[in-house]
Structure 1
């Protein structure tokens, strides 16, 4: 599998380095986004198709050469129009994976089609960028990567933290109250209250 890993070129003492998976079938567009991401202190892994992206992420049935913990992809940026698998189809695969759905996904396209943009955003894309992508666009992606990392940490904490809202103490039984129903009617009580007259013979 042809995968290009490009370091950021930034010193480790600077800002946090993010790992971006860039997906584009155009060599020229792929080089442009790689260059912009590198300027923004991002490590870039570039692939030329949606299927290769899934192979790299390890969710296409084939195991990646790296473990998922080693990948640590902070953001996926993909072209929309690609042969074989579109960026929209790749987006659906990622958002349908319990392992990857927290990773922010950004779609790129040279066609400004509103229905296409709305469909991607409704499916969970963070943004839809028009080509050619500018440095200001790439710098805005850092907010998505920071937010995505925080959401992933929150999900991890929820999995590890027991549910404190549940009161698991055994329930105390209420004291049983015995209700005794009166067996006599009111007419019976009146009969008992009347004096008894005894006639002597």
Structure 2
């Protein structure tokens, strides 16, 4: 599923082919089309194991950590949208709404700070996700700093959960100051809230 060519996205269902196999089961494998998205849920509490970096690196995480009032929304007509149409919207955003040089430079500075203070880095996979995600986030009505905040909070700072936080209080406070100075006092709210939640756990 991580191969660059979608024609290589195959899952082995059975070890070999048999007479009468389903049409799209070839040599025991089935091709996963690009319009298939895998969605799952995971509890995050003292009854479960820590979610690994490998999951955070590959998944888009949505946290549901607050209860809201019931929404009595009126019935709406369904919208049919082909994968090709949606994919073209993504590509159009990525081609026309490039991340600014300033934001990329600020990301580099943040990366250097986190690496120096916490010995945590992120690789090309997350960097590519950032470049793919932020233009789409902007096209959907957001701004690039908000999009970067979402990715940093969900992809990079989550790695802090494996650290010995009581010994890193000063470093986390320094990081909070660095974020405010670099991205603005009222920006990077998700990252700020996450770091502050770590300090509250001590």
Please confirm whether the aligned pair reaches a TM-score higher than 0.5, indicating the same fold.
no
Per residue, is there more helix in 1 or in 2? 2
TM-score (norm 1): 0.24
Per residue, is there more strand in 1 or in 2? 1
> Of the two, which has the highest radius of gyration?
1
